[in-house]
Structure 1
Amino acid sequence: MKAKINNFEVDLSKPIDISIPLSNTEDNPIAWYIEKPEINPVVFGDWTGSVKEGASTNFNTISFNPHGHGTHTECLGHITKEFYSINQCLKQFFFLAELVSIEPEIQGEDAVITLNNISTALNVSLQLGALKEALIIRTLPNLANKKHQNYSNTNPPYLSEAAAIFIRESGIQHLLIDLPSVDKEHDEGKLLAHKAFWNVKDVTNLNADARLNCTITEMIFVADAILDGSYFLNLQIAAFENDASPSKPILFKIADF
């Protein structure tokens, strides 16, 4: 089924899922020193919420952390003293997006997505077409173990503060990345890239020009078969009144773009 979105033609029958599913197996990706998710049937006395155990329905309780257990989308409430909910901050769900592949630069013991990386990728993109609302970063090498990685204490690549500022000043409202965080794993709580992207100057007293409607999505996976370029992004979240929600970003190819 084809549809026109903002005067662009997309084929809604061919979705490209770049999320990582959540499961209660050792294959589930993990970050931030927690254990795998738990999905278990409810037990009331002699009754167990499982058809295999004789119940009429499956009735599971799920225990997980959106930040540490797979693809998730977060708002600036992730870093502010005042409560902000992803369910209230994200009110639109279709965006013109650009997918770029970037090999982080080695700086000492770190692998960093730098201002040079981002400015080169975005400047090429902006010269080729309309202003993008979302940026999707695929890091290289694009190993399949991103879908199953335990990132705790591995010092994954991260985004520099200068790169995050450039992304913000380029008008990007929604940033998606295949890493557990845009910031360095052990950074003494500075969270420089988060703060720069959301333009948060003081986490205890939010400035008026902080970007309430902007989001960061982490722990996606973009297969090699998906080519760099322009797409329409459908950013799907669950209706959690929380700073973050598990999410399912879906890409659609744009005809003649």
Structure 2
Amino acid sequence: MTAVDFHIGPRVYRIDSSNYFDLSIPVAFDGAGLSAFGLPPAGVSTVENAWFVGDTRRGGSCNVKEYQFIPHCHGTHTECVGHIVDQEVLVTEILKDAWIPATLISVKVENGADCPETYIPHKADDDRLITRRTLIEKLTSLDDEDFHQALIIRTLPNSPSKRTWRYVTAPYFSNEAVAEIVRRGVEHLLVDIPSVDRMEDEGRLSNHRLFWELPPDAHDLNLCKAPFRTITEFIFAADNIPDGYCLLELQVAPFLGDAVPSRPLVYPVEVP
């Protein structure tokens, strides 16, 4: 055990740096991995030409592969406002915090027909929504604002099939739920779904815009009030990870893009 003490305001907390949970879903290149929006899974091919073959099983001197994948669709990824604006914004420029106080909660989704909350442009009766009232219920007992810099949301039921599912439809947030997340000062939102928005939404991405405080249908970064926030999608928080406060280490690949593969690690927090 390597104990690390840290301060949040006047209070002291402790983590064991060797005791953490990995929330990432790796990008699989064997054809059996995760995918979304009706796209095929990630793929891989051997690099070869007239004088070289990158496969030792075929007589090559070494293995050299070309990997084909889409960060938004094929594994855990972190995205920034560059996802929806005309200007180039890079995740690696936005994400500055090495350690982030976080709260992890588990929520049940609600049927659209039973939910009074709304979504732009529309919701269907059989849609599954993460709602404001569910978030408030869960955060009533986890209301320490110091740990709301990041919010990690696990949807129930929590099947391991989330690691390999081919998503055509998926749960998403009501607009009221995202507004509540913004009201609580969350800067980093982590979810185990393909998108915070409905997968078929006429390209409106209303929840992305609410989170980054960008006007409806706008694509100008200068109109964005919260470009410092990030969204991490396609996490998987196993059942043995308890709800509660933790310290988040959000590792991202050094890719220059609006969305990059990421590896969120969470460390349970103790009071020494």
Instruction: Determine if the TM-score, normalized by the shorter chain, exceeds 0.5.
Output: yes
Partner of 1:122: 139
- CA deviation string 1:6-62 (max 9, x = no partner): 342111112210100111123311002221112223112242112333333322211
Q: How does 1:63-78 map to 2 (within 5 A)?
A: 63-78=68-83
Q: Distance in 2 between matches of 1:5 and 1:48?
A: 51
Instruction: Please tell me the residue identity of whatever aligns with 2:270.
Output: A
Q: Distance in 1 between matches of 2:44 and 2:271?
A: 44
8 Å Cα contact 1:200/1:207 also seen in 2? no
How big is the alpha-carbon RMSD for the aligned residues of Structure 1 and Structure 2?
Answer: 1.7
Q: Distance in 1 between matches of 2:32 and 2:150?
A: 29
How many percent identity over aligned positions? 35
Partner of 1:134: 150
8 Å Cα contact 1:201/1:207 also seen in 2? no
Matched, 1:197 2:215: no
Shift of 1:207: 4.3
- SS of alignment partner, residue 209 of structure 2: helix
Q: Distance in 2 between matches of 1:67 and 1:143?
A: 21
The runs of at least 4 consecutive aligned structure 1 residues that moved more than 4 Å come to none
Which sections of structure 2, spanning at least 5 residues, go unmatched?
113-124
Taking structure 1 as reference, are residues 50 and 2 closer, same or farther at Cα in structure 2, changes over 3 Å only?
farther
Q: How does 1:53-202 map to 2 (within 5 A)?
A: 53-107=58-112, 108-127=125-144, 130-152=146-168, 155-201=169-215
Question: Number of aligned pairs?
Answer: 254
The partner residue of 1:236 within 247, 251, 256 is 251
TM-score, normalised to structure 1's length? 0.93
8 Å Cα contact 1:159/1:183 also seen in 2? yes
- SS of alignment partner, residue 201 of structure 1: coil
- SS of alignment partner, residue 236 of structure 2: coil
Q: Distance in 2 between matches of 1:131 and 1:250?
A: 15
8 Å Cα contact 1:103/1:140 also seen in 2? yes
Q: How does 1:216-255 map to 2 (within 5 A)?
A: 216-255=231-270
8 Å Cα contact 2:31/2:43 also seen in 1? no
Moved more, 42-51 or 103-112: 42-51
